[in-house]
Amino acid sequence: MGGEVFRRLIFLPVTLFFVATLVFLALRALPGSSIELLGSQFTTAGLKEQLIADLGLDKSIWEQYGIFLGELVRFDLGRSFLTGKDVSSMVGETLPVTIELAVASLVVMTIAGIGMGLLAGAFPGTLADGLLRTVSVLLFSLPWFWFGIVLIIVFVLWLGWFPAFGRLPSSVDYEAVTNFVLIDAIILGRFDLVVPWLKHVTLPALTVGLTTSGVLMRLTRVGVIETAKTDYIRTARMKGVPGPRVFFRHILRNVALGILTVIGVQFGAMLGGSVIAEVVFGYPGIGRMTVDAVLNRDYAVAQGGAIVIAAFYVLINLATDLSYRWADPRLRRGGR
Amino acid sequence: MTGPLVQIENLTVRYPLGGGLGARGVLGLAPTNLEVQRGELLAIVGESGSGKTTLGRAMLRLIPAEGAIHFDGTEIIGLGRRELAQMRSRMQMIFQDPYSSLNPQKTVGRTLSEVLAHVGIPRAERRARAEELLSQVGLGADAYPRLPRAFSGGQRQRIAIARALATGPDLVVADEPVSALDVSVQAQVVNLLLDLKAERGLTMVFISHDLGLVSAIADRIGVMYFGRLVEIGPAARLSRSPAHPYTALLNDSMPPPSVAAARATLEAAAQTGAVELPSLMDPPRGCPFAPRCGHASASCRETPPALHPHPAGGLVACHHPLNTD
Amino acid sequence: MSAPLLSVRGLTAELGSGAQRVTALRAVDFDVRRGEITAIVGESGSGKSTAAMALARLNEGPQGAFSGEVRFDGMDVLSLNSRALRSLRGQGIAMVFQDAAAALNPCETIGDQIAEAMVVHKARDWRAARAHAIELLGEVGMPEPARRAGLYPHEMSGGQRQRAMIALGLACDPALLIADEPTTALDVTVQGQILALLKSIVARRDMGLILITHDLGVVAALADQVLVMYAGRIVEAAPVAEFFDAPHHPYSGDMITAASVALDAGGRLATIPGRPPHSGDVGESCAYAPRCARASNQCRAALPSLEPHGTRRRACFHPLDDA
């Protein structure tokens, strides 16, 4: 198992190299450069050339690529040419925001998906099962941004229960330490941050969590139904184990293994989903940072954001696989 | 042509362990020498983990193997993809599970026509040939347009046999072809194989766990244990006077359908100790059967016995063979 | 003679739903006594497994309904409420299934799976239950039982898993054990050991054993009584020695001939023509008639009933003892 982790970790830089190359080339392929977008703002004649030289845009694309990779190897993500800020510190600020949102979405997805799945799987073929399956189809066929906008219309504009934009009200004074609100709330004793944050995170988390819960619901349902048919569940019933105990101790434990993988894969997908939710809800995470940077042709920021998201995605999948191996005795303790 | 149809030299199969970087291999098949004579029915017998299926698949190059396989004089391990594809039509396999070996989406006719097309039968003749094959395996031409799910296990195995015969093979390797079938149907399918073998002059390798069955139908029997051929010889000799203690154990393990004999078998089984195969990761130095063997001596645990001729015929890999007089 | 432990009368089972609903068992009658091994023999679709599961109502539900009477130890099994039924399962009747690799929970250790039965039925605490599980593993001949109790099913050999399955069945001292093809998935050299184990357990614990099998060799080795099933009915019931000496039903005779696996003068194996009927293909005539060499018009027109004849029962118009 140690060897497996090692092998997977070796492939991480390879994956990242491909992601970096792809992002680099894709950005260059977009029409219009950062300089052109600034366009008329240059008043002094020499300033434009100065900036082009500073950014290295006068060099050939392959030279730029070489420099980019060289910096990447030294973990130098460069600077934003718009704000001059260090991309690493921008990532440091925005990544926790996204992780926070993704975890909140995961909680929503897990509760909604597994809850609906268990209910439907325990009583297959009933009216409740039919209703829940219809709901799940609706949920996973909804476009995320559309669902987000509907939530804004209903809960923000009509009911006024939740704020629509941002992560915390602008009135709140928050000096970040880790930039995870809940962790900082404990470190700084700022428990007044929790409720406003929850209000802000609810709608984006519902958008991402509910739209992804449909898949989880179906898998949980099928898992429960299939497991209930297995020989070892028949054995459990033949032992005289009461129905609820068969369900929770035997069926659920075995279904949980399958669900765990799905949750892990979905968590990775949620990082992607967060990009959309962040844009719709004006949520200041790494997704929105990257999208903004692409629109502004702020190459260094866009590249840095994409690479960090990719690295995170790979690491989460690795963690999921490992946790699965640990949870399933057949994988944890190989053959005889 | 004379000489054996198949001649195998040092055929060895290693299964990778763990996969990826730094993988070790375990021996699925220890270096094996074997000849299959033209027109014979050679049975390969063994229990799970004996390597009998591995040997069968390696013989047809369905899995990677080392060593040499001479098929009708041509060495096939070194063959390229195209030449191998041509040789393949001369050697076919029938698998155990008639449910998973047929594509459920394809009609019987389509399955057969595809094979016939592959061996160059013109389109116009394919249907007639396929229907002829179906009647040869005891199914009517009405089977042609139907899907596999319309057939019982025994009928599906007949379809699989028709498919194997469609290429006009010289050699058929049948891997447990009847063990998934009902007792009363098993004999029907075995009889069909025997009839077809006689009619077409086929050479057949019949892989089975059932020594009783193959004793009745085979010309020669090879017994495998832990990836090794431990005994091979005329079927009648092996079932009447086995030379390897493991062959004797197999012979004595099956309760026959007669009360007195079956009870005696049970008495004997109650006396034998726990059955443990040696570990593939850590194969024993000497004879792999020694830990279970009543005749094992110190030399058995030290030196692996090689196959050598037995006075009553055939070869046996044992330091203390039985029935030598 | 003491009262039978299990007494089955007119057991009929309807399985499946809608148009697929079939009568999988028809009017099955038999008794099982303590210390006695009853073998139910048949091919696929004969109803032998359905009968076994019906005794503990395991296949009951929207897909399965039973009628008739199953008396176990004075209880009317088919009318038990769910609580009493749970108590019967495991404590009164236990079952050993064919494929122990599938029948054991892959995510729980062997010891815990055996212990759970005691925790559920006897309200034992886990510690005591696990200790007793180790004793049971010892009783079924598991080497190093204390260590093996902590293993998962995949870490054992096929024979060990089947021993664990048997230990699980014995956990709450049932009076009747039902073994459904207990050795079919095992290697031949292991089969005999498991059969010998079952035989010694039945003798030592004075239990009843119902052995479901397709293998006449297994029947000959173990059984006291033989019930032959075909198309959902018992076609012959006889003491084992008499059965093998002189089967009365042509199907029994054909099966015994086929099981001896020998080539005839023409170089072919003895066969039974045709194939076993699908479960539920039971008409109002003898189901074996289409395959039977002795069949007459009478067989194709009427259903022979299961009649007593000396020490046995048989359902045939032209039994083999009629010259």
Nearest to C217 among B217, B257, B275 (CB): B257
- Reported as a pLDDT band with limits 50, 70 and 90, residue B23 is very low
Residues of A in contact with C91 (CB under 8 A): 240
Is the CB of A254 less than 8 angstroms away from the CB of C105? yes
Please indicate whether residue B48 or residue A175 has the higher confidence score (pLDDT): B48
Of the candidate CATH numbers 3.40.50.1100, 3.90.550.10, 3.40.50.300, 1.20.1250.20, the domain formed by C34-60+82-92+175-323 belongs to 3.40.50.300
Please indicate whether residue A33 or residue C62 has the higher confidence score (pLDDT): C62
The C-alpha of B177 sits at a distance from chain A's nearest C-alpha, in angstroms, of 26
Q: Give the nearest chain C residue to A326 (CA atoms).
A: C107
End-to-end Cα, chain C, rounded Å: 34
The mean pLDDT value for C18-26 works out to 85
Q: Give the nearest chain B residue to A2 (CA atoms).
A: B18
pLDDT at A257 over 60: yes
Residues of B in contact with A3 (CB under 8 A): 18, 20-22
pLDDT at A8 over 80: no
Q: Give the nearest chain A residue to C109 (CA atoms).
A: A329
The C-alpha of C3 sits at a distance from chain B's nearest C-alpha, in angstroms, of 27
pLDDT at C1 over 60: no
pLDDT at A38 over 80: no
C60 touches chain A (CB under 8 A): no
pLDDT of residue B22: 44
A7 touches chain B (CB under 8 A): yes
Query: What residue ranges do the domains of chain A occupy?
Result: 87-332
A330 touches chain B (CB under 8 A): no
Query: Of B5-9, B25-29, C4-8, which gets the smallest average pLDDT?
Result: B25-29
Residues of B in contact with C256 (CB under 8 A): 257
Query: What residue ranges do the domains of chain C occupy?
Result: 34-60+82-92+175-323, 100-173
pLDDT of residue C280: 64
B22 touches chain A (CB under 8 A): yes
Query: Of B111-125, C4-18, C215-229, C273-287, which gets the smallest average pLDDT?
Result: C273-287
Residues of C in contact with A333 (CB under 8 A): 152, 155
- The C-alpha atoms of residue B325 and residue C6 are separated, in whole angstroms, by 54
End-to-end Cα, chain A, rounded Å: 16
- Reported as a pLDDT band with limits 50, 70 and 90, residue C238 is very high
pLDDT of residue A41: 60
Interface of C with A in 80-119 (CB under 8 A): 86-91, 94-95, 97, 99, 102-108, 113, 116-117
**pLDDT above 70 covers what percent of chain B?**
96
Nearest to B182 among C43, C159, C200 (CB): C43
Write the pLDDT tens digit of every residue in B43-71: 999 998 899 999 999 999 999 999 999 99
Residue B283 neighbours by CB under 8 Å, 6+ apart: B27, B226
The C-alpha of C49 sits at a distance from chain A's nearest C-alpha, in angstroms, of 14
Write the pLDDT tens digit of every residue in B203-262: 999 999 999 999 999 999 999 999 999 999 999 999 899 999 999 999 888 888 889 999
Of the candidate CATH numbers 1.10.3470.10, 1.10.3720.10, 1.10.287.110, 1.20.1250.20, the domain formed by A87-332 belongs to 1.10.3720.10
Residues of C in contact with A230 (CB under 8 A): 102
Q: Give the nearest chain A residue to C170 (CA atoms).
A: A239
A→C interface, C-beta within 8 Å: 230-232, 234-242, 245, 249-250, 253-254, 257, 328-330, 333, 335-336
- The C-alpha atoms of residue B296 and residue B290 are separated, in whole angstroms, by 5
- Region for A148 from its dihedrals, namely left if φ exceeds 0, alpha if ψ lies in -120 to 50, beta otherwise: alpha
- The C-alpha atoms of residue B201 and residue A75 are separated, in whole angstroms, by 72
What does the mean pLDDT of chain B come to? Answer: 90
**What is the complex's ipTM, to 2 decimals?**
0.88
Is the CB of B266 less than 8 angstroms away from the CB of C195? yes
